[in-house]
Structure 1
Amino acid sequence: MTFSFCWFATCSLFAQNTPEVDIGGALRFNYNLSSWKPEQKRRGGDFGYDMFRINAVAAYQGIYVNAEYRLYSQAFGGGMLKQGWFGYRFNEIKELQVGLTQVPFGIQQYNSHNWFFNLGYYVGLEDDHDMGIKYMHLGEQWEYQVAYFKNAEELRFGDASAVSPSRYSYDVAGNNKEVHQANIKLLYKWGDSTRSRLGFSGQYGGLYNIETKETGDHYALAVHYEAGYKLWNLKTEAMLVSHRPEDAEGTSEETITMAAYGAPYEVAADFNLYTLAVARDVPVSWGPVSNLQFYNDFGYMQKAQSGFEDSVMNVTGILVTAGNLYTYIDYAAGYNHSWLGGNFVNDFAAGNPNAKWEARFNINFGYYF
């Protein structure tokens, strides 16, 4: 649901003698036609506002700030800070970030090619951002990142306030709050004609319950591989995930609550997640159009609890590049998927054994400046 840029401050190496500031952003509109919305189908789908964002990067004497603020419609959470951190680069390969920074887990920046992301995003395991400190060592052959996150984005600051759902990243919500999370990520890179990146990621943290005042825990482990060959790109991950909150007596231990984009939903407490994403670029010269990227991104959520229905997601599409205009044309299909035709509340938890595959044809137009 976003596009990545290499801003000057994150690409420059050493201290600036004079202050530098760069302002950018994006404006996006969206068309969608959904199989489970009969009235929408009768009127031929809907076309409207998606998001406006501002990016700001400023640097002076080697210390920089990188922030991105997004404005969605009120129904999808309204305004929210996607990311924002203070950074310092020790040299070409060593960097420190403090603030609302991306959690080092899995393939980054995205484990997908499409506008919808892959299934991991909807359970907080793709493009997640939390409040903490992160050290990165990005060498030619080895990369590693270590991080400590005090908590996820905190917007209410009450003594026992529940997590606000007006957020970009999916985090544990309801009566539980993510606290004191540690992350480590290790990558080994090799190859010239076939560029390979094999990695391992792990995270462990607490779940503070605002009702019982007790702290449970959660963890996630992942093995991931990314390869590039000529115009091809492959991304694949296998993840093991568990949540063990200290909920009040009588509360189900089989599910947790997660929230983002203005609304919470239930997620299975324990699951395995598998993803496979393949893309191929096709350079063209059609007026302003310079590239077509064809892709298929697949995700499968295998729930540990007996009787829970697994969740599946597949997105087939094309990214059209025309100058600064990027257009995602996607056919997104889901089975027991909250954002693709389900009942939203518990598709990623118990699910529905009688669920049908539903699909959404989606075109997202984004101009990035």
Structure 2
Amino acid sequence: MSIIQYTRNPMLLSVLPILALLDQAAIAAPVTDNLDIGGALRARFDYDPDQDIQKLSLDTVRLDVKYDSDTWIGKGSYRCYGGSYPYDYVDSLCDIAFPSYAWVGYKFDASRQVHVGLNQVPFGLQPYFGTTFFEGLGNVIGLEDVHNLGIKYLGGTPEWNLQAAYYLNDGGQGKGTSRGGRSYSTNVADADDNVPDGSDNVEKHKLSLRLARHVEIGEWASEFGGSLLTSTLENQDTGDDGRRNAFALHYQGRNGPWGTALQAVRQHMKPKNAGSNDIVTFGGYDGTFNVAAKGDLYVAHLSYDLPGTYWLVSGVQFYGNYSRFDKAKGAFKDSQRFIAGTSFSFKDLWIAVEWLHGKNDPYIGGSSYTQSLAEGGSDQWENRLYANIGYYF
């Protein structure tokens, strides 16, 4: 298939020339000494032989705001999708749109802050469970890169880091077509009509605690940590309250160009559904799907930063990430995801190219989107080649 066939989408054709103007200076500039406004334009390429998909598409248009002074801080980010794969079922860009985060904070001193608003839940490896772009299974079971509405405290010493937070709810939904998944984060959701045995829960009163210790082990700068999370699952059908609990142990280390991370998580949900209590419906990115109520998540990550600049290419990193979701219910088929990839800068572009290899994974191959993380899907390994090309300003 030719590049002309890839770029028949008029919206993508309008974006690609912007991405091509890489030799010009970045167009963003500080509004004041403390306020910056920027964003990103991103395209994506997907090749999935299992589903006969081969597409170059507009991925994201993003607006970012950042404020930083001696005492006050704040960040916000808003995203637009639509009109091209995988959101070609809507007509136009921003038919699907939502904030990623939006919070204000106060600095008590150099080591203590408080953040209020839509901010990242302090759980597990931070800020992500690895350096991949696509993220692992932790993201799709609602534990990685989650932003909810609440208040978070950050503090500590050079050796210790403490984060404690309370979240009233998930922060609400953005604009889209899905009943419960019109948001950046994967959250507990009200199942859409196409989700068999879906549940209708609202997650409230989430408490999260993360404590980490920085140590030097030989030439490795290391961090050992533990995290706790608990919340109420308020069922809208039965009127009864269930519970969500999660516990994690995590390690990350760096030795020169080498980086590594390990994590083990137990997620134990006890919903009070009108139907099966073995599943809880989650949603994000304009879709909803079932997740096993009880299971263990394992994550292993390894990366290598290639030093130097090669012609116009710099900041090269190679990485591999493996995540496995072992479900407690014996009849449910476990889910796995392996990502091997590289990221680098090409002049003003930041590019990630990844091979995705998944089993009972809702986002890879022809496995069931709604059931892969619960009872399972095709139960065979599926593949996808994925690339994301972004211009950040």
Instruction: Assess same fold via TM > 0.5.
Output: yes
Structure 1 position 167 matched with structure 2 position 183: yes
Gaps of 5+ in 2: 1-31, 88-94, 191-199
Aligned to 2:27: none
Aligned to 1:363: 387
Aligned to 2:138: 120
- Aligned counterpart for 1:214 among listed residues 240, 259, 281: 240
Mark the CA change 1:318 to 1:202 in structure 2 (over 3 Å): closer, same or farther. Answer: same
Aligned to 2:214: 189
Question: Quick check: 1:222–1:239 contact (8 Å CA) kept in 2?
Answer: yes
Structure 1 position 296 matched with structure 2 position 296: no
Q: Distance in 2 between matches of 1:59 and 1:114?
A: 28
SS at match of 2:173: coil
Provide the alpha-carbon RMSD of the alignment: 1.7
Q: Distance in 2 between matches of 1:110 and 1:188?
A: 18
Mark the CA change 1:61 to 1:280 in structure 2 (over 3 Å): closer, same or farther. Answer: closer
Aligned to 2:34: 20
C-alpha displacement at 1:326, in angstroms? Answer: 1.2
Deviations for 1:105-147, whole angstroms, at most 9, x for unmatched residues?
A: 0011111111111110011111101110000014210000110
1:45-194 paired onto structure 2 within 5 Å: 45-59=54-68, 62-73=71-82, 76=87, 78-155=96-173, 164-174=180-190, 175-191=200-216, 193-194=219-220
Q: Distance in 1 between matches of 2:134 and 2:210?
A: 24
Question: Quick check: 2:230–2:246 contact (8 Å CA) kept in 1?
Answer: yes
Q: Specify the code of the residue in structure 2 equivalent to 1:259.
A: G
Q: Distance in 2 between matches of 1:60 and 1:276?
A: 37
Question: Quick check: 2:357–2:383 contact (8 Å CA) kept in 1?
Answer: yes
Deviations for 1:67-105, whole angstroms, at most 9, x for unmatched residues?
A: 011112266571110001010011111000000000000
Structure 1 position 350 matched with structure 2 position 364: no
Mark the CA change 1:154 to 1:233 in structure 2 (over 3 Å): closer, same or farther. Answer: same
Q: Distance in 1 between matches of 2:243 and 2:261?
A: 29
Q: Distance in 1 between matches of 2:68 and 2:214?
A: 30
Q: Distance in 2 between matches of 1:147 and 1:240?
A: 19
Question: Quick check: 2:316–2:345 contact (8 Å CA) kept in 1?
Answer: yes
Q: Distance in 1 between matches of 2:256 and 2:34?
A: 36
Q: Distance in 2 between matches of 1:22 and 1:164?
A: 32
C-alpha displacement at 1:355, in angstroms? Answer: 2.4
Q: Distance in 2 between matches of 1:125 and 1:118?
A: 10
C-alpha displacement at 1:163, in angstroms? Answer: 6.4
Structure 1 position 337 matched with structure 2 position 361: yes
Question: Quick check: 1:288–1:323 contact (8 Å CA) kept in 2?
Answer: yes
Question: Quick check: 1:333–1:357 contact (8 Å CA) kept in 2?
Answer: yes
Q: Specify the code of the residue in structure 1 equivalent to 2:82.
A: S
Aligned to 2:46: 32
Question: Quick check: 1:19–1:58 contact (8 Å CA) kept in 2?
Answer: no
Q: Distance in 1 between matches of 2:117 and 2:364?
A: 33
Structure 1 position 306 matched with structure 2 position 333: no
Give the percent of matched residue pairs that are identical in Structure 1 and Structure 2.
30
SS at match of 2:308: strand
Q: Distance in 2 between matches of 1:259 and 1:351?
A: 17
Q: Specify the code of the residue in structure 1 equivalent to 2:50.
A: W
Aligned to 1:199: 225
SS at match of 1:90: strand
Question: Quick check: 1:163–1:177 contact (8 Å CA) kept in 2?
Answer: no
Higher mean C-alpha deviation, range 134-143 or range 100-109: 134-143
Q: Distance in 2 between matches of 1:142 and 1:94?
A: 12
Structure 1 position 242 matched with structure 2 position 258: no
Q: Distance in 2 between matches of 1:294 and 1:63?
A: 37
Question: Quick check: 2:252–2:259 contact (8 Å CA) kept in 1?
Answer: yes
C-alpha displacement at 1:322, in angstroms? Answer: 2.9
Structure 1 position 287 matched with structure 2 position 301: no
Deviations for 1:261-282, whole angstroms, at most 9, x for unmatched residues?
A: 1010010000000000100011
Question: Quick check: 2:357–2:381 contact (8 Å CA) kept in 1?
Answer: yes
Aligned to 1:229: 255
Gaps of 5+ in 1: 1-17, 157-161
Question: Quick check: 1:231–1:282 contact (8 Å CA) kept in 2?
Answer: yes
C-alpha displacement at 1:290, in angstroms? Answer: 1.6
C-alpha displacement at 1:176, in angstroms? Answer: 0.2
Aligned to 2:12: none
- TM-score, normalising length: structure 1: 0.88
SS at match of 1:120: helix
